[in-house]
Amino acid sequence: MSKKLIISLLTLLCLAPHLGCEAMLCAQSAAEQRFRYYDHITFYDVYAGTVNAADHPTPEGILRLNNSRLTTLLPAADLDQMGDTLRLEVTITALCDNYDRIGSVDLVLMSKDSVDYNDGRHGSYSGRLGNTAPDIQRIEVARFITPFMDKNKGVDVPYSWDISFLSPLLHDRALRDTMNLWLEFHLEGVPYAANTQISGCSGRNDVFAGTLDVVSTGCYSPTDGGQLTLPLVYERYINLRNTDEAGTTVAHYQVHLDEPMDDALFLMINSNHGSNSGGEEYNRRLHYVWVNEWMAEVFRPGRSSCEPFRQYNTQSNGIYGGSAKSDDSWQSFSNWCPGDVIDNHLIRLGSIPAGDYDFRLLVPDAVFADGQGYFPFSLTFFGRRGSSFVGIEPIAVQTDSQVRWQGNTLQVDSNRPIRHWTLLNAAGQRLIVQPGSVSEINMSHYPSGVYILLLLMDDESTEVHKFFRP
């Protein structure tokens, strides 16, 4: 008996709840299942007019919004079968673009009253603006960078993300009663260099081909209360001209909760761009994530090395050069690797009470040389209703270092080598940066209050110590 027939029979049995359909569907979906939504779909020149549908048809069920963005409706039957462990897999093949480009996978929540994205009431589609109407909500789920590729060298580039955090949303019956869920595939390519540099690309405007799968394992167990999903911003271009605090680089968003939440989290996606001399693309900056008065994360973008992705860069380029680079070399300039994913940052809050939550991303050292560059920034809040929250539990942070007072001096001892440390005030403003060889801080000239000591270790990990200066 075929897999599709088994699923159809189980679905029919679900019309009679007393037969225990949830258990049967769970047993069927526990094994790995692969849902393919795009199969070698073609993207075209992002700056050209949208290709003619008659000459460039898409498979049934796929709508081309423009040359760089396609969408497809997620069937209810697929959503019902998805488990609690989800993996997103994307494969990109070069056509006639030989440069590094940015792409994403987005989940769109659209009112069932809407026919499609361009039904006459929404106006023209705009991928940059995020939401084209109040009944369209866009969530960036994953972001990636293509390698420098020569299509004649036949390399497929794989990308993978854990997107299990979406499982409660996909199973939210109350949401699905009013909203359709669409999965967008987005990749911005330009053929102009390849038209002259790559054999067989003269006069062509097809830039990449892409395949997209969602791989599911396990069973999802519904919970009482339903899911709260708040798409806060989609690919807002942050820089010193577009910031929430004048004179520095800050993205600031607020969430008000009327009820407590379980499994609360923020999904943040951010990457650094600006390829001019001294541009942000080539400078690793410390990024600080605050939720209210809690410093939730501190990180520097970038891998320890981009060498694992050299194999996909089949077109010569100035990033990889002609020979392997040391880890120190990559870490001196690389914020991301052509051929790699951009990390999803999941800021997990756990069980939280009702109230107001301020989210801030601060990149105080960003310069944006010559007024160029930007950080595409996306943020979504997720939470589960029906919380039994009764109080706040302290957050336990395991560290390898000790921070203690000796008079007006703060002393730092660590079992691991410290590269350098940074002292911040409670607002996240940098006060001092010292090499790790300095183990004491004279605090006598600083006022009483809360301070943050950030330790960057030689292995690129960080420790955060919050303390009160009496």
The predicted-structure confidence for 252-281, as pLDDT tens digits, reads as follows 999 999 999 999 999 999 999 999 999 999
Residue 425 pairs with which residues in a beta bridge?
Answer: 451
Looking at residue 117, what is its pLDDT? 62
pLDDT of 167 > 90? The answer is: yes
Cα distance between residue 439 and residue 461, in whole Å: 18
For residue 332, the 8-state DSSP code is T
Positions of CATH 2.60.40.3080 in the chain? 401-469
DSSP states of 29-86 = HSS-EEEEEEEEEEEEBTTSPPPPTTTS---TTEEEEETTEEEEEPPHHHHHH--SEE
The domain 223-395: what is its CATH number?
2.60.120.230
pLDDT of 431 > 60? The answer is: yes
The torsion defined by the Cα of 226, 232, 235 and 239, in degrees rounded to 10, comes to: -150
Write down how long the chain is. Answer: 470
Positions of CATH 2.60.120.230 in the chain? 223-395
Cα atoms found within 13 Å of the Cα of residue 311, Cβ hemisphere only: 5
Cα distance between residue 22 and residue 10, in whole Å: 9
pTM here is 0.80
Looking at mean pLDDT, say which of 134-138, 158-162, 295-299 comes out highest: 158-162
Cα distance between residue 316 and residue 268, in whole Å: 32
Query: What Rg, from alpha-carbon coordinates, does the chain have?
Result: 24
Give the other-Cβ count within 10 Å of 18's Cβ: 5
Report the CATH fold assignment for 29-222: Jelly Rolls (2.60.120)
Looking at mean pLDDT, say which of 105-109, 118-122, 413-417, 445-449 comes out highest: 105-109
Q: What are phi and psi of 218, to 5 degrees?
A: 80, -175
Cα distance between residue 25 and residue 37, in whole Å: 21
Positions of CATH 2.60.120.1570 in the chain? 29-222
Q: Which positions ≥6 away from 322 have C-beta within 8 Å?
A: 316
**CA proximity to 168, closest of 216, 215, 227, 109:** 227
Tokens 């967008």 sit on residue: 184
Query: What confidence tier does 122 reach under pLDDT thresholds 50, 70, 90?
Result: very low
Residue 404 pairs with which residues in a beta bridge?
Answer: 411
For residue 132, the 8-state DSSP code is S
Looking at residue 397, what is its pLDDT? 45
Q: Does domain 401-469 have CATH number 2.60.40.3080?
A: yes
The torsion defined by the Cα of 423, 296, 357 and 142, in degrees rounded to 10, comes to: 130
Looking at residue 394, what is its pLDDT? 36
pLDDT digits 0-9 by tens, 372-425: 999 999 999 999 987 655 443 333 344 677 777 777 888 888 888 888 888 877
Q: Which positions ≥6 away from 194 have C-beta within 8 Å?
A: 96, 97, 98, 151, 201, 204, 207
Query: What confidence tier does 27 reach under pLDDT thresholds 50, 70, 90?
Result: low
Cα distance between residue 340 and residue 309, in whole Å: 7
pLDDT-wise least confident of 36-45, 126-135, 315-324, 406-415: 126-135
Share of the chain above pLDDT 70, in %: 85
| The two three-digit tokens of residue 41, written as one number | 């779909």
